[in-house]
């Protein structure tokens, strides 16, 4: 029993250290904004893969057409000619006639990841050497391109990516938004401070065509679930720098059932587990709100147990506030930061579930997740 208590105490202390470093990393990121150059405006091609109608689809997609930027092209890519998003895109093309917009409809597949096939079909008609990929549920302001493109003035930079704040509807997606703002992004900032990031997010991936070609084009990531991760990781392995922009985009979560949310989170947990197994295992050292409660129970409410719990929870809440409110300016994190411990318990349960199973469901497909994060389509028995 003494050994178990010591183990729990070590996990609590490691979590407190992580929270402290997360706060430091967030402050350092805030104090050292990415340099911008008002004269650097290379032409950009924006690739927007679409599948179905996301929440606030028109507003999200149209926000990319209202950029205060000299020259940019937008390519919307859809697989199915019956996809309801096509009508929205056509409306956007009519309304923004002054913007270079194209719609590509093609069911050509290059791998198990349908989104990447969309990107591969779109890039064929890309006019410019700088590509920007952003998921269809992302909303941006007019200064977006002005902010995320300038880091590429450094020829050694191959990829730029962004943090994101989530807009949520309902308590289920609110919990997801809290996790993203106060936990996931804290880990990103810690990684950025320690060694610089070597991955990217679907919220924004700015990538040079040359860097994309160096890694083998979209074909190189066509069988990965975490294609965004790979589009940062592979260029970094090829010698390019990956820059975390200080621009924060908005991710529209919309509404979701509890079952769908849990499946989505477990899917990504399994993806992280197979992509970065040791990193996934190391997350046990960050669940201080869980281990401190277990220590309190194991020590039967001793002064030590209460002291460790209070310190751990306090530092966790401080880190959540600094990252979620001060860095991301996330209104959900600001309003509901007090439920962070409850969110952590749910995330811990999902983390445990992430160790089990290798199959996922995504966009109506059943897929087998293999070592390294690659996907294999499972034939429908019907």
Beta strands 44-50 and 130-133 are: parallel
User: CA-to-CA distance for 24 and 18, rounded, in angstroms?
Assistant: 10
Of 267, 302, 321, which one is at a domain's C-terminal end? 267
Residues 293 and 304 in one domain: yes
Does residue 345 sit within a domain?
Answer: yes
Residues 281 and 173 in one domain: no
User: CA-to-CA distance for 69 and 100, rounded, in angstroms?
Assistant: 12
Residues 158 and 76 in one domain: yes
Does residue 275 sit within a domain?
Answer: yes
Sign of CA dihedral 20, 26, 27, 28: positive
Does residue 347 sit within a domain?
Answer: yes
Residue 375 contacts residue 226 (beta carbons within 8 Å) = no
Residues 119 and 187 in one domain: yes
pLDDT of residue 381: 45
Q: Name the residue range of residue 368's domain.
A: 2-28+269-374
Residues 243 and 306 in one domain: no
The CATH number of the domain where 49 resides is what? 3.90.550.10
Residues 76 and 104 in one domain: yes
pLDDT of residue 265: 87
Residues 156 and 249 in one domain: yes
Burial grade of 30 (CB within 10 A; 0-12, 13-18, 19 or more) = middle
Residues 22 and 67 in one domain: no
Nearest to 251 by CA among 164, 181, 325: 164
15, HSE (Cβ side, Cα atoms, 13 Å) = 30
Any alpha helices (H) in the chain, and if so which ranges? 2-31, 57-63, 85-95, 114-123, 144-148, 171-179, 185-195, 209-214, 227-237, 258-275, 277-281, 288-298, 303-321, 331-336, 340-353
| Other Cβ atoms closer than 10 A to 186 | 25
Does residue 350 sit within a domain?
Answer: yes
pLDDT of residue 233: 94
Residue-level pLDDT, tens digit, the chain, 382 residues: 689 999 999 999 999 999 999 999 999 999 888 877 778 999 999 999 998 888 789 999 999 999 999 999 999 999 999 999 999 999 999 999 999 999 999 999 998 899 999 999 999 999 999 999 999 999 999 999 999 999 999 999 999 999 999 888 788 889 889 999 999 999 999 999 998 999 999 999 999 999 999 999 999 999 988 899 999 999 999 999 999 999 999 998 877 788 888 888 888 888 888 778 888 899 999 999 999 999 999 999 999 999 999 999 999 999 999 999 999 999 999 999 899 999 999 999 999 988 887 777 766 677 777 777 777 777 554 4
Residues 202 and 340 in one domain: no
User: CA-to-CA distance for 251 and 140, rounded, in angstroms?
Assistant: 9
Does residue 182 sit within a domain?
Answer: yes
Nearest to 142 by CA among 36, 70, 65, 35: 65
Residues 100 and 150 in one domain: yes
Contacts of 161 (CB under 8 A, 6+ apart): 197, 199, 200, 201, 203, 204, 205, 206, 228, 232, 242, 243, 244, 245
Does residue 380 sit within a domain?
Answer: no
Residues 334 and 194 in one domain: no
Of 236, 267, 298, which one is at a domain's C-terminal end? 267
pLDDT of residue 379: 59
Q: What is the DSSP letter of 70?
A: S
Residues 218 and 85 in one domain: yes
Does residue 381 sit within a domain?
Answer: no
| Total tally of structural domains belonging to the chain | 2
Measured between alpha carbons, how far apart are the two ends of the chain, in Å?
52
Of 219, 235, 267, which one is at a domain's C-terminal end? 267
Does residue 379 sit within a domain?
Answer: no
């Amino acid at each position: 029993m003494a050994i178990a208590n010591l183990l729990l105490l070590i996990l609590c202390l490691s979590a407190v250290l992580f929270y402290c470093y997360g706060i430091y990393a967030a402050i350092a990121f805030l104090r050292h904004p990415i340099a911008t150059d008002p004269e650097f405006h290379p032409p950009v091609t924006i690739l927007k893969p679409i599948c179905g109608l996301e929440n606030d689809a028109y507003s999200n997609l149209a926000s990319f057409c209202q950029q205060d930027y000299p020259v940019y092209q937008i390519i919307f890519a859809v697989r199915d000619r019956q996809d309801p998003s096509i009508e929205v895109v056509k409306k956007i093309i009519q309304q923004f006639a002054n913007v270079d917009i194209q719609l590509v409809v093609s069911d050509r597949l290059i791998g198990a990841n349908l989104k990447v096939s969309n990107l591969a079909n779109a890039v064929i008609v890309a006019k410019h050497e700088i590509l920007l990929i952003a998921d269809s549920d992302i909303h941006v302001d007019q200064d977006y391109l002005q902010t995320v493109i300038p880091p590429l003035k450094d020829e050694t930079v191959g990829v730029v990516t962004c943090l994101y704040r989530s807009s949520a509807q309902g308590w289920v997606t609110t919990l997801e938004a809290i996790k993203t703002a106060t936990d996931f992004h804290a880990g990103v900032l810690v990684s950025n401070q320690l060694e610089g990031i070597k991955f990217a997010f679907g919220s924004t991936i700015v990538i040079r065509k040359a860097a994309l070609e160096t890694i083998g084009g979209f074909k190189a990531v066509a069988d990965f679930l975490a294609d965004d991760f790979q589009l940062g990781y592979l260029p970094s392995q090829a010698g390019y720098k990956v820059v975390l922009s200080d621009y924060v985009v908005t991710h529209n979560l919309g509404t979701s059932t509890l079952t769908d949310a849990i499946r989505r989170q477990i899917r990504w947990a399994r993806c992280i587990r197979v992509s970065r197994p040791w990193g996934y295992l190391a997350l046990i050292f960050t669940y201080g709100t869980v281990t401190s409660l277990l220590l309190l129970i194991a020590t039967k409410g001793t002064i030590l147990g209460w002291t460790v719990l209070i310190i751990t929870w306090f530092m966790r809440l401080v880190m959540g506030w600094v990252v979620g409110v001060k860095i991301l300016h996330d209104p959900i994190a600001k309003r509901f930061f007090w439920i962070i411990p409850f969110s952590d318990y749910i995330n811990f349960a999902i983390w445990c579930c992430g160790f089990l199973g290798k199959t996922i469901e995504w966009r109506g497909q059943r897929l087998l997740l293999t070592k390294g994060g690659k996907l294999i389509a499972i034939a429908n028995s019907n």
